[in-house]
Amino acid sequence: MGFKKSNNVKIEGGMSSMTDLVFLLLIFFIIVSTKVDRFQDIELPSSNGDPSLTSPIKVYITDKNTYFINGETPISKSDLEASLLKLIGENKTIELLADKSTDREYAYNVIKIAKKHALKVVIKTKVAK
């Protein structure tokens, strides 16, 4: 006996309603994007103080292990702490910029001084390619 299955139900989604919906959304977003104001008026706050008080102090260490503060005249290792404390402002941040071939001892000396006086140290590096 050859019985055949006669109840074949096909479940298919109509794509025409989906394309209509996508088309309507596209039109909606195009219209809304033209109405958006791209530039906002922002009133920036003004500064009340001397910017040198809040900008960090830059300590440079050359390849010959010489200290410079803010790119000025060379400073000896013994005078470094006194010079830093004289220049430190409200920010209490030191930027350490040391040459790649500098002895680590000289960079550690700056970090020790900063730790002793509760200063923050930011070590500047170059991004590797």
Q: Please indicate whether residue 90 or residue 99 has the higher confidence score (pLDDT).
A: 99
Q: Please indicate whether residue 13 or residue 84 has the higher confidence score (pLDDT).
A: 84
- DSSP code of residue 32: H
Q: How many CB atoms lie within 10 A of CB 102?
A: 17
Domains and CATH numbers, the chain: 51-123 (3.30.420.270)
Q: What is the pLDDT of residues 39-86, one digit of tens each?
A: 666 666 676 666 655 678 889 998 888 999 888 888 888 889 888 888
Contacts of 83 (CB under 8 A, 6+ apart): 69, 75
Q: What is the pLDDT of residues 97-113, one digit of tens each?
A: 888 888 889 989 999 99
